[in-house]
């Protein structure tokens, strides 16, 4: 049963059923009354007449049933007829049907696939209770908050039902075949209750868990519980060793629970966050603050209150409470990918529109060919609405077939999207073809079926009866209106294709510009991995530096290793810390205005291993240890900015509080390298020798007890097929030769890290390019179809022209010229549209303006070439028309 | 005599070709023009009328009967007239063919 008839009977049932029933009732009562009147006229008394009439009429209910059946049966029958007839007509022209279904499948498939991503990522609510009331408090919407500030906000604000804070945390688990570093979060006891999520087993944290002595408790994620504890239901109460200390398992979270939803998205275990001994700390910004709005409080009110509180605190503690933002959690979670997804969804919509336009003019061509059939049927009594219904049934069959095929395409495309997509799309793991997507697909199919079917149906059902019935009577004026509609369709198809191609072109230019970025180091043949000593014997003060030094010596002596070093935070992949610095002799900055620099702590040989050129002075050596004067290497940007036209070597800076300086002498200037973001402009960066950095050598925090090894493979001997990743087992072995309990994580080549940092634009490019390719293909098929059709309809006219002396060149020029005219109009409209629309994607572009003239011109040129080729074939056919033959046919 | 479905449709169309009529009127008219050969019962009349209305051959409207009763009146649409012509031609061909067949020895 077609969707159309289902909807029409639904509408009938909903709107007319009562009316129809009442009507029928009254009609039959009228009938009986009239019958009785006849009998009275014949001489019966009133009662007898009435009784006789009722008997004669036979049970009224049965009559009603029969009437209902007749109505419903007819509806079913005509629909079934339409569907049967439609299927037969479609089967009779398999070429057309395949082309149309394919075009629609591409359009609907692209849309369903992207819709399912958008649905999972943007539309479906977060898996917390009433997630629309959850907000995040950060500095400038991005930067973490100091403990004392959080405690003040929590104590003073009334706009929130609850407020809690989270801090990144990692813990080493020893035991099993491989020691493992687990990522987790420390949470204040408010966080889980404010999210409104109940644990699967056990309990969540209580306020007392934040006190010293109670903070060795953990809650496991469902995944970790399954993986490491075999989903043991009695796990609550068990003790496990983390970082060499005992922790009690107090709960397990449900399967769908994920926290935090942005940043630290891979957290698998949660522990309490004691803040008592940091209650006055306004300098150590490590917390992300989460809150639930109190009932009846609007976001604007909450923002106003926080603005008042932070302004007061800022006056009291200058430089600590600037730019505090209250952001809805959902915006924070999806904010970064929203523009990308919306641009892609828009592009998918364009593909669908092009597919519709394509199918619509295929249908128009067909309806021209079917004029005679329509005329015959109309002459035999088919009403116009009946014909429209017939044509619409056919286009709906096409659309549904396209939808089903599109769903298959979408399933394949989704696999590719999720596999190729950058890892940073939140909640991408929940993407799938579910009932939402199915409903979307059905709706889109329905709309497209009506969209591309209506115009041809209206046109086909109003044919010129007498003209069509007479064989071969095609006047020169025939189908002027039809041709105009085809031209409009073709023009819009080109216009849409132009916009898509320009979008893809701009992305290509962006990605090319990104590939030209000089990272400042050579990422080839580099292997990196993180070694953590938290909780082990190597973590002891004085022991740690010796361990890492010995490890690096051992790694350097491994076969196939050219050089090895280590850094606290690997560029692109690792954390990013900034430190305030002060240059000797400059005025002391006001609080909150001190400049800061990216903070790197490295072992000797780092610059050599990474191949970062030292532009002045020297790099960091073995001699830069506790006994030597403290030195620092700065990057070129910092040198140029702070000592323009001067030699910075020998100048001194201090980190932290300028009132109590600990001077570091600039020993060298390194070339600018990318720091955290592949495309960010350079900023100040400082490199400190590990062997002079007490914080790292002696600090107890887990933040400073891991280092990332960078190992350059020696590719010279073989000269080819050098795979740095092949060194991983040997290096891991070297680590474990010191201590079997040390976890080694994040094993990746530097090239992988680079690829990951540019994954999102490349992914966008891939999808846009695929869409643009489909669009170009459909447009080419479209112009080919239009021109072929036009040539076949104008055989007579062309024959006449040739008989009158036009040569083949003239004919060729006329046909190609007509195609180029359409292309030109389409391109003009498309370029104008692109001027307006590409602005929306300017946030996705890198070093390319959204109205980049080169891209615009190139796309217009490409399209002209494609149109030229696509129209040349039918034009050649036109030149081969035999004038005698063509005129005789007429 | 029982009626073939197509026959009843044709008779209804024919009855209405003179003007609009209500259900009982149609039944009486069919009796009259077939000289009493066909008695149309409401059990077959009304389903046929509604089916033909749904098919677009008939148009109905409410009116007053000759005795001031509300009754539903039917008349032919343009499609109904075309249908009458088409069915009459078909019937002519069939009846000629059947008659010829029966006369053959």
Residues from chain B that touch A37, judged by Cβ atoms under 8 A, are 67, 69
Please give the full DSSP string across A521-585, using - where no structure is assigned: S--TTEEEEEEE-TTSGGGSTTHHHHHHHHHHHHHHTSTTEEEEEEESS-TTTS---EEEEEETT
Q: Does A58 touch chain B (CB under 8 A)?
A: yes
pLDDT over threshold 90, residue A436: no
Q: What does pLDDT average to over chain A?
A: 85
Residue A755 falls inside a structural domain: yes
pLDDT at A748: 92
pLDDT at A467: 52
**Are A381 and B90 in contact, with CB atoms under 8 Å apart?**
no
Contact state of B41 with A58 under an 8 Å Cβ cutoff: yes
Looking at the structure, tell me whether residues A148 and A283 fall in a common domain.
Answer: yes
Looking at the structure, tell me whether residues A616 and A680 fall in a common domain.
Answer: yes
The token duo for A464 is 């010129």
**Nearest to residue A808, comparing CAs of A883, A865, A741?**
A883
Size of interface A-B (CB pairs under 8 A): 77
Q: Lowest-pLDDT range, A178-182, A342-346, A417-421, B79-83?
A: A417-421
User: CA A624: distance to chain centroid?
Assistant: 47
**Are A519 and A680 in contact, with CB atoms under 8 Å apart?**
no
pLDDT at B96: 87
Residues from chain B that touch A81, judged by Cβ atoms under 8 A, are none
pLDDT over threshold 70, residue A118: yes
The number of helix segments (H) and strand segments (E) in chain A equals: 27, 21
Looking at the structure, tell me whether residues A355 and A490 fall in a common domain.
Answer: no
Q: Is A140 helix (H, G, I), strand (E, B) or coil?
A: coil
Q: Does A385 touch chain B (CB under 8 A)?
A: yes
Q: Does A33 touch chain B (CB under 8 A)?
A: yes
- The DSSP bridge pattern shows strands A180-187 and A269-272 to be parallel
For B22, which residue in chain A has the nearest alpha carbon? A31
pLDDT at A526: 94
Contact state of A70 with B48 under an 8 Å Cβ cutoff: yes
Contact state of A34 with B71 under an 8 Å Cβ cutoff: yes
Looking at the structure, tell me whether residues A698 and A560 fall in a common domain.
Answer: yes
Torsion of CA A430, A435, A440, A446, to 10 degrees: 160
Least CB–CB distance from A71: residue in B54, B69, B71: B54
**Are A357 and A50 in contact, with CB atoms under 8 Å apart?**
no
Please give the Cα distance from A91 to A96 (Å, whole number).
9
Where a domain ends, among A455, A471, A487? Answer: A471
pLDDT at A382: 66
The token duo for A712 is 């350059």
Q: Is A244 helix (H, G, I), strand (E, B) or coil?
A: coil
pLDDT over threshold 80, residue A616: yes
Q: Look at the block and give the residue holding tokens 């044509």.
A: A391
Please give the Cα distance from A488 to A628 (Å, whole number).
79
pLDDT at A629: 94
Contact state of A73 with B43 under an 8 Å Cβ cutoff: no
For A68, which residue in chain B has the nearest alpha carbon? B47
pLDDT at A462: 65
Please give the Cα distance from A175 to A691 (Å, whole number).
31
Contact state of B43 with A69 under an 8 Å Cβ cutoff: no
Residues of chain B under the 50 pLDDT cut: 1-2
pLDDT interval class at A477 (50, 70, 90): very low
Looking at the structure, tell me whether residues A104 and A62 fall in a common domain.
Answer: no
Residue A491 falls inside a structural domain: yes
- Give which of A25, A30, A379 to mutate to test B binding, by max B Cβ within 10 Å: A30
Q: In this predicted model, which residue has the larger pLDDT, A540 or A149?
A: A149
Q: Look at the block and give the residue holding tokens 């240059």.
A: A583
Residue A330 falls inside a structural domain: no
The H or E element that residue A137 is part of is strand A134-139
Residues from chain A that touch B65, judged by Cβ atoms under 8 A, are 30, 34
- What would the pLDDT profile of A485-521 be if each residue is shown by its tens digit? 778 888 888 899 999 999 999 988 998 898 888 999 9
Contact state of B46 with A69 under an 8 Å Cβ cutoff: no
Please give the full DSSP string across A799-843, using - where no structure is assigned: HHHHHTT--HHHHHHHHHHHHHHHHHHHHHHHHHHHHHHGGGGGG
pLDDT at A614: 96
- What would the pLDDT profile of A844-886 be if each residue is shown by its tens digit? 888 889 889 999 999 999 988 988 888 888 888 888 878 877 7
Q: Is A343 helix (H, G, I), strand (E, B) or coil?
A: helix
Q: Give the number of domains in chain A.
A: 5
Q: Does A35 touch chain B (CB under 8 A)?
A: yes
Q: Does A62 touch chain B (CB under 8 A)?
A: yes
In sequence order, the 6+-apart residues with CB closer than 8 A to the CB of A587 are none
Residue A332 falls inside a structural domain: no
- What would the pLDDT profile of A187-215 be if each residue is shown by its tens digit? 999 999 999 999 999 999 988 888 877 78
Looking at the structure, tell me whether residues A811 and A695 fall in a common domain.
Answer: no
Looking at the structure, tell me whether residues A766 and A846 fall in a common domain.
Answer: yes
pLDDT at A3: 45
- Give which of A57, A66, A73, A386 to mutate to test B binding, by max B Cβ within 10 Å: A66
Q: Does A37 touch chain B (CB under 8 A)?
A: yes
Residue A876 falls inside a structural domain: yes
- What would the pLDDT profile of A637-691 be if each residue is shown by its tens digit? 999 999 999 999 999 999 988 888 999 999 999 999 998 888 888 999 999 999 9
pLDDT at A472: 45
DSSP character at residue A120: I
Q: Lowest-pLDDT range, A496-500, A531-535, A594-598, A757-761?
A: A757-761
- What would the pLDDT profile of A275-326 be if each residue is shown by its tens digit? 888 888 887 888 999 999 999 999 999 999 999 999 999 999 888 888 899 9
pLDDT at A554: 96
Where a domain ends, among A288, A322, A356? Answer: A322
Contact state of A27 with B43 under an 8 Å Cβ cutoff: no
Q: A627 to each of A539, A600, A668, B42, how far by Cα in Å?
A: 21, 20, 19, 116
Looking at the structure, tell me whether residues A456 and A482 fall in a common domain.
Answer: no
Q: Lowest-pLDDT range, A157-171, A629-643, B48-62?
A: B48-62
Residue A801 falls inside a structural domain: yes
Looking at the structure, tell me whether residues A564 and A647 fall in a common domain.
Answer: yes
Q: Is A247 helix (H, G, I), strand (E, B) or coil?
A: strand
The token duo for A835 is 């001027």
Q: Lowest-pLDDT range, A158-162, A229-233, A471-475, A850-854?
A: A471-475
ipTM: 0.83
pLDDT at A125: 72
Q: Mean pLDDT across the stretch A108-119?
A: 85
User: CA B10: distance to chain centroid?
Assistant: 5
Q: Does A63 touch chain B (CB under 8 A)?
A: yes
Looking at the structure, tell me whether residues A454 and A559 fall in a common domain.
Answer: no
Residue A775's domain comprises 474-517+751-890
- What would the pLDDT profile of A386-402 be if each residue is shown by its tens digit? 778 888 888 889 889 99
Residue A841 falls inside a structural domain: yes
Residues from chain A that touch B70, judged by Cβ atoms under 8 A, are 26, 30
- What would the pLDDT profile of A17-75 be if each residue is shown by its tens digit? 567 777 888 888 888 888 888 888 888 888 888 888 887 776 777 777 777 777 777 66
Least CB–CB distance from A34: residue in B50, B54, B69: B69
- Give ∠ CA A538-A542-A547 in degrees, rounded to 5: 40
Residue B1 to chain A, least CA–CA distance (Å): 17
For A385, which residue in chain B has the nearest alpha carbon? B56
Q: Mean pLDDT across the stretch A575-583?
A: 86
User: CA A720: distance to chain centroid?
Assistant: 38
The dihedral sign for the CA sequence A263, A268, A274, A278: negative
For the purposes of burial, counting CB atoms within 10 Å of the CB of A853, is it exposed (0-12), middle (13-18) or buried (19 or more)? exposed
Contact state of A30 with B71 under an 8 Å Cβ cutoff: yes
Residues from chain A that touch B13, judged by Cβ atoms under 8 A, are none
pLDDT interval class at A427 (50, 70, 90): low
Looking at the structure, tell me whether residues A762 and A857 fall in a common domain.
Answer: yes
pLDDT over threshold 60, residue A11: no
- What would the pLDDT profile of A783-837 be if each residue is shown by its tens digit? 888 788 778 777 788 888 888 888 888 888 888 888 888 889 999 999 999 998 8
**Domains assigned to chain B:** 5-103 (1.10.10.10)
Where a domain ends, among A451, A471, A491? Answer: A471
In sequence order, the 6+-apart residues with CB closer than 8 A to the CB of A717 are none
In sequence order, the 6+-apart residues with CB closer than 8 A to the CB of A808 are A802, A879
- What would the pLDDT profile of A353-390 be if each residue is shown by its tens digit? 888 888 887 888 777 777 777 777 776 666 677 778 88
3-state secondary structure chain B: CCCCHHHHHHHHHHHHCCCCEEHHHHHHHHHHHCCCCCCCCHHHHHHHHHHHHHCCCEEEEEEECCCCCEEEEEEECHHHHHHHHHHHHHHHHHHHHHHHHHHCC
pLDDT at A5: 46
Q: Does A34 touch chain B (CB under 8 A)?
A: yes
Residue A216 falls inside a structural domain: yes
Looking at the structure, tell me whether residues A800 and A660 fall in a common domain.
Answer: no
Residue A71 to chain B, least CA–CA distance (Å): 5
- Give which of A28, A37, A381 to mutate to test B binding, by max B Cβ within 10 Å: A381
Contact state of B42 with A57 under an 8 Å Cβ cutoff: yes
pLDDT over threshold 90, residue A612: yes
Contact state of A381 with B86 under an 8 Å Cβ cutoff: yes
């Amino acid at each position: 049963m077609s969707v159309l008839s289902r909807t029409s009977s639904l509408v009938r049932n909903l709107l007319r059923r009562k009316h129809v029933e009442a009507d029928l009732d009254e009609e039959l009562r009228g009938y009986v009354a009239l019958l009785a009147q006849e009998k009275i006229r014949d001489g019966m008394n009133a009662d007898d007449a009435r009784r006789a009439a009722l008997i004669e009429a036979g049970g009224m209910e049965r009559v009603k049933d029969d009437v209902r059946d007749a109505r419903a049966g007819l509806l079913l029958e005509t629909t079934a007829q339409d569907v049967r007839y439609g299927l037969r007509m479609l089967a009779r022209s398999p070429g057309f049907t395949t082309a149309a279904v394919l075009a629609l499948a591409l359009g609907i498939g692209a849309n369903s696939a992207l819709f399912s991503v958008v649905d999972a990522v943007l539309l479906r609510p977060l898996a917390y209770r009433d997630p629309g009331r959850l907000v995040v408090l950060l500095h400038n919407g991005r930067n973490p908050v100091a403990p004392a500030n959080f405690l003040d906000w929590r104590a003073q604000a009334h706009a929130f039902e609850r407020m809690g804070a989270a801090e990144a945390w990692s813990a080493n688990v020893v035991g099993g075949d491989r020691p493992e570093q687990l990522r987790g979060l420390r949470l204040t006891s408010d966080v889980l209750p404010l999210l409104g999520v109940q644990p699967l087993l056990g309990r969540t944290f209580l306020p007392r868990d934040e006190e010293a002595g109670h903070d060795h408790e953990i809650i496991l994620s469902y995944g970790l519980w399954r993986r490491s504890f075999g989903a043991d239901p009695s796990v609550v109460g068990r003790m496990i060793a983390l970082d060499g200390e005992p922790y009690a398992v107090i709960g397990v979270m449900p399967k769908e629970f994920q926290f935090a939803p942005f940043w630290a998205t891979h957290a698998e275990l949660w522990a309490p966050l004691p803040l008592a001994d940091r209650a006055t700390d306004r300098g150590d910004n490590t917390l992300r603050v989460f809150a639930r709005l109190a009932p009846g409080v609007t976001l604007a009110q909450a923002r106003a209150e926080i603005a008042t509180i932070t302004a007061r605190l800022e006056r009291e503690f200058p430089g600590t409470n600037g730019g505090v933002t209250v952001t809805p959690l959902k915006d924070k979670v999806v904010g970064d990918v929203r523009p990308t997804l919306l641009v892609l969804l828009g592009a998918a919509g364009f593909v669908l529109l092009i597919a519709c336009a394509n199918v619509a003019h295929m249908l128009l061509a067909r309806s021209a060919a079917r004029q005679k059939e329509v005329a015959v049927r109309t002459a035999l009594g088919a009403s116009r609405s009946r014909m429209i219904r017939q044509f619409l049934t056919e286009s709906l069959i096409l659309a549904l077939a396209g939808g089903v095929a599109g769903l298959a395409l979408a399933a394949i495309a989704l696999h590719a999207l999720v596999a190729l997509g950058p890892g940073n799309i939140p909640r991408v793991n929940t993407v799938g073809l579910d009932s939402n997507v199915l409903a979307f697909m059905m709706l889109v199919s329905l709309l497209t079926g009506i969209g591309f079917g209506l115009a041809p149906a209206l046109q086909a059902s109003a044919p010129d009866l007498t003209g069509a019935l007479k064989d071969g009577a095609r006047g020169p004026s025939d189908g002027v209106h039809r041709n105009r509609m085809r031209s409009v369709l073709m023009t819009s198809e080109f216009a849409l294709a132009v916009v898509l191609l320009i979008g893809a072109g701009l992305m290509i230019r962006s990605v090319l510009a990104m590939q030209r970025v000089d990272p400042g180091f050579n990422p080839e043949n580099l292997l990196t991995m993180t070694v953590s000593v938290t909780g082990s014997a190597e973590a002891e003060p004085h022991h740690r530096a010796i361990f890492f030094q010995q490890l690096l010596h051992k790694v350097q002596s491994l076969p196939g290793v050219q050089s090895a070093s280590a850094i606290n935070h690997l560029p692109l992949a690792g954390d990013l810390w900034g430190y305030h610095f002060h240059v000797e002799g400059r005025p002391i900055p006001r609080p909150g205005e001190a400049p800061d620099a990216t903070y790197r702590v490295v072992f000797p040989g780092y610059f050599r291993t990474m191949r970062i050129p030292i532009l002045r002075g020297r790099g960091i050596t073995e001699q830069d240890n506790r006994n030597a004067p403290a030195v620092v290497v700065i990057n070129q940007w910092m040198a140029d900015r702070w000592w323009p036209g001067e030699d910075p070597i020998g100048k001194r800076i201090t980190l932290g509080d300028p009132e109590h300086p600990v001077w570091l002498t600039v020993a060298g200037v390194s070339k600018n390298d990318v720091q955290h973001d592949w495309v960010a402009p350079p900023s100040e960066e400082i490199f400190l020798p590990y062997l002079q950095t007490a914080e790292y050598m002696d600090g107890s925090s887990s933040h400073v007890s891991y280092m990332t090894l960078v190992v350059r493979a020696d590719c010279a001997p073989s000269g080819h097929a050098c795979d740095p990743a092949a060194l991983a087992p040997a290096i891991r072995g070297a680590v474990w030769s010191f201590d079997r309990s040390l976890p080694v994580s994040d094993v990746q080549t530097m090239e992988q890290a680079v690829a990951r940092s540019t994954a999102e634009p490349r992914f966008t490019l891939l999808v846009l390019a695929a869409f643009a390719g489909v669009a170009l293909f459909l447009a080419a098929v479209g112009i080919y179809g239009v021109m072929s059709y036009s040539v076949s309809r104008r055989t007579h006219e062309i024959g006449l022209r040739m008989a009158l002396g036009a040569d083949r060149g003239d004919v060729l020029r006329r046909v190609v010229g007509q195609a180029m005219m359409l292309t030109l109009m389409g391109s003009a409209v498309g370029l104008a549209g692109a001027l307006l629309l590409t602005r929306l994607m300017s946030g996705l572009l890198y070093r390319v303006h959204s109205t980049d003239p080169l891209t615009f011109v190139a796309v217009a040129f490409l399209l002209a070439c494609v149109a030229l080729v696509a129209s040349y074939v039918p034009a050649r056919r036109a030149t081969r028309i035999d004038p005698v033959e063509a005129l005789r046919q007429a | 005599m029982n009626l073939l479905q197509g026959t009843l449709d044709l008779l209804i169309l024919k009855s209405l070709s003179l003007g609009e009529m209500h259900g009982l009127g149609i039944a009486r008219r069919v009796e009259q023009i077939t000289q009493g050969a066909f008695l149309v019962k409401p059990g077959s009349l009304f389903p046929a009328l509604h089916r033909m209305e749904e098919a677009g051959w008939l148009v109905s409207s409410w009116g007053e009967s000759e005795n001031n009763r509300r009754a539903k009146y039917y008349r032919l649409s343009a499609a109904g007239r075309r249908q009458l012509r088409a069915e009459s031609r078909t019937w002519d061909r069939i009846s000629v063919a059947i008659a010829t067949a029966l006369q053959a020895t």
